[in-house]
């Protein structure tokens, strides 16, 4: 079994559209949405949730007003300035400032402070027309996206092994943050989706440096290459210097948008479209090289 993660250096490159298109051409795969902060693969997959699970997130402190003596030691020691006095001279925690370090628990002489983990995050195992999808939803302002990605991937691997699947295909998050690092750890290959803009090239270069630190195979494609062919040429030259195979240049086509408006990927919606044919060839190249 091989695990492939689709990544981009920035948002808006079409990474999820590419992943969704691969779902129609890949065989015997489990799919995983690692973009837990802003998951959207489910919008095309239309999943039927079979299993819903709570993911315990960051620790948050809470002060019992019945026990608080108003001594202020906790506020003095809190380096994040998350503890504030109220009109009665007692103290409370601002949950948006609290970093969950739990120091306040240890220094409170009245044992008035306790902490508990947030339960606003969830991950799901769902059935789709493409196969099993493991995905998640983080609550607003929640942390530990990297740990949630690890949990999602761990369960996708368990399912893939139990069902005898050949591939896990991950729709990764954009950028180079902790969720991306969590997506790359233990993966077999990365497919880098690049848009032909200066910022797209700059951010792809940063992401490529990160990927190569993991020592895994990496391939690339340029999406909407014809909106700026000059930058596309720069991208091709850059990939050549980095010895990264360019598997395809995908043209801009409003048919992709039409497909998404009816909840389908381009291969489903227009199987004879040139992009559909390119995506079939991309998968052939990836599946041949990843083993």
In this predicted model, what pLDDT tens digit does every residue of 160-203 receive, in sequence order? 999 999 999 999 999 999 999 999 999 999 999 999 999 999 99
Closest CA to 195 of 240, 226, 172: 226
In this predicted model, what pLDDT tens digit does every residue of 107-166 receive, in sequence order? 999 999 999 998 889 999 999 999 999 999 988 878 778 999 999 999 999 999 999 999
Question: The tokens 């190569």 sit on which residue?
Answer: 212
Q: Is the pLDDT of residue 21 over 90?
A: yes
* DSSP track, the chain: -EEEEEEESSTTSSHHHHHHHHHHH--SEEEEE--TTS--THHHH--EEEEEEEE---EEEEE-TTT-----HHHHH-TT--EEE-TTS-EEE-TTT-----HHHHH-TT--EEEEE---EEEEEEEETTEEEEEEEPPTT---HHHHHHHHHHHHHHHHHHHT-SEEEEEEEESSSHHHHHHHTT-SEEEEEE-SSHHHHHHHHHHHHHHHHTT-EEEEEEETGGG-HHHHHHHHHHHHHTT--EEEEEPP-HHHHHHHHTT--HHHH-TTSHHHHHHHHHHHHHHHHH-
- pLDDT score, position 95: 87
In this predicted model, what pLDDT tens digit does every residue of 236-250 receive, in sequence order? 999 999 999 999 999
Burial of 83 (0-12, 13-18, 19+ CB in 10 A): buried
- pLDDT score, position 130: 96
- pLDDT score, position 3: 97
**CA-to-CA distance for 163 and 256, rounded, in angstroms?**
32
In this predicted model, what pLDDT tens digit does every residue of 66-110 receive, in sequence order? 999 999 999 999 999 999 998 888 999 998 899 999 999 999 999
- Asked if residues 130 and 267 have their Cβ atoms less than 8 Å apart, the reply is no
- pLDDT score, position 168: 98
Q: Whole-model pTM?
A: 0.89
- pLDDT score, position 144: 78
Phi-psi sector, 128: left (phi>0), alpha (psi -120 to 50), beta: beta
Q: Is the pLDDT of residue 258 over 80?
A: yes
pLDDT averaged over the chain? Answer: 95
- pLDDT score, position 96: 86
Q: Is the pLDDT of residue 65 over 90?
A: yes
- pLDDT score, position 142: 80
Burial pattern 17-35, b for ≥16 Cβ within 10 A else e, equals: bbbbbbbbbbeebbbbbbb
- Asked if residues 222 and 194 have their Cβ atoms less than 8 Å apart, the reply is yes
Q: Is the pLDDT of residue 53 over 80?
A: yes
Q: Is the pLDDT of residue 291 over 90?
A: no
């Amino acid at each position: 079994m091989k695990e492939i993660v689709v990544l981009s250096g920035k948002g808006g490159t079409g990474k999820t559209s590419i992943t969704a298109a691969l779902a129609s051409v890949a065989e015997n795969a489990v799919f995983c949405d690692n973009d837990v902060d802003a998951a959207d693969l489910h919008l095309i997959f239309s999943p039927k949730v079979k299993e819903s699970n709570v993911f315990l997130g960051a620790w948050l402190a809470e002060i019992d007003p019945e026990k608080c003596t108003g001594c202020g030691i906790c506020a003095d020691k809190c380096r994040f300035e998350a503890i504030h006095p109220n009109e009665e001279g007692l103290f409370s925690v601002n949950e948006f400032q609290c970093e969950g370090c739990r120091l306040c628990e240890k220094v409170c002489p009245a044992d008035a402070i306790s902490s508990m983990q947030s339960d606003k995050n969830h991950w799901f195992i769902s059935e789709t027309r493409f196969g099993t999808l493991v995905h998640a939803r983080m609550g607003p302002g929640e942390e530990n996206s990297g740990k949630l990605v690890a949990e999602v991937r761990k369960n996708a691997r368990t399912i893939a092994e139990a069902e005898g699947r050949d591939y896990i295909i991950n729709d990764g998050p954009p950028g180079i943050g902790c969720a991306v690092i969590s997506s790359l750890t233990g993966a077999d290959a990365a497919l880098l989706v690049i848009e032909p803009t200066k910022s797209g090239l700059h951010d792809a270069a940063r992401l490529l440096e990160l990927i190569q630190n993991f020592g895994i195979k990496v391939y690339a494609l340029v999406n909407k290459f014809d909106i700026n062919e000059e930058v596309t040429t720069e991208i091709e030259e850059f990939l050549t210097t980095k010895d990264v195979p360019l598997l395809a240049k995908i043209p801009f086509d409003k048919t992709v948008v039409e497909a998404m408006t009816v909840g389908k990927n381009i291969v489903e919606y227009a199987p004879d479209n040139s992009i559909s044919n390119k995506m079939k060839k991309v998968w052939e190249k990836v599946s041949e090289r990843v083993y």
